Chains A and B, each alone.
Chain A
């Protein structure tokens, strides 16, 4: 097994104590930092898929994301440019009137692991705050709006409408949350929908490809 393969396997297994050392060893062995990063992103893709299919549960996904994050810390000084993501920035938040953050946090972790820089606005986020965040941050490529309650679905609609009406361009809007369906996402004008965190990362990458 090559060093990069080892990094990949340990990220997938969520070995956050081992991954930083292995990343350093992979660098010392002369591997390209970008290749190491790509390997970790790939392993998170596998993790996301396993989560989506029910093969693993939330904690397995969390420790894999944590392991990758530790690896990225070692890698960052060696990456080209300012270390910011080549995929761009993702602004994420739970819409106004909704306090549920767990699903949103998991989606954030997985999208970050897919290679985006994240701007997390938290919960109970008014539509105009999403718009302001798009203005305030560079290279926003994805805006992800989450809502768990049926009663806050109108707020989801309002957020998407405000973002679309802002005149700002260059990004795609994805939505998700328990009561949200692909049909509802299309109806309110979102560019994408994901039923879970693993799929959200895949969808985000698809939309910026």
Chain B
């Protein structure tokens, strides 16, 4: 059995053969996982310095030189690396007095912070499978982002206390601005919010829970939702980026809703982390510094703040190392341009806009396929995996260790 590192569900029941440039005898891979496994055969990187092929030692030496001479380097990415690599990365940041940040900085970070500090109650996905009678995907579309979420955990399986499952015992709801792919599965329970309207929507739910008529939205629909929430025996909410980006600085209102729901019944929250080990980085950095992301080690002590986010630090740092991430594709144009103008080191198994812009490219083994290690699933469960393909490429952890030794 293999573990798929295509998303943060870290499915451990994958059967597949990868040989001779082909993927065959596949069982249990979703479409996203299939794409992830097949990516082993396309657009692989080679060691490069300023667009010219070099050997690995030269690329690592040049990366060390750039980082050594930088006054305020930024180390960014991390969500697609194992805990072992993240651990070395944090040590490297300490050694360099650098800023370190990961993708949670513009993703699930503001919610994950509350989950890890215990201010919002959470549970494991196995608990969801065994006990949940209500699952709410809020600004999340797992049919696209985490395709096996519903079949393994939240809707279709027969759990310990949910043997009659989706036919009789489970209700799946979606809160979204649109009819997403997931919403088509539970059409009757799609609750629409206008873009940016999640805070008002929550206030309306809180009113309904108090027995008041909501001032906003479709009153009948809101009263129906309030009834469903009150009737739930054991509910789970899965917030996606739709909710995070809508609430932004107003996450307190969601915290209030969860506290109120837990006065009535049981409701747990699991953030729909995207990359396979985003939560792992958040937990590890928190353990070492007290902060889940956006940390600067300048002056020898860890400090935290928005100025250390990749979006801000891209404009103030004087060199950047990007690992397992393609910020030139996934971040706004202004941030991408700022990063592209820096002395840039990219550690990545595959070609991207970021590797094309980087002065130094270091190829790495794909975690889960060509390199083993440990990662933390979206619900906090640690998963250990072994490689399933033999590759001569070094793992992220080895590359980072070699860079650190050379500095």
Whether chains A and B associate is no
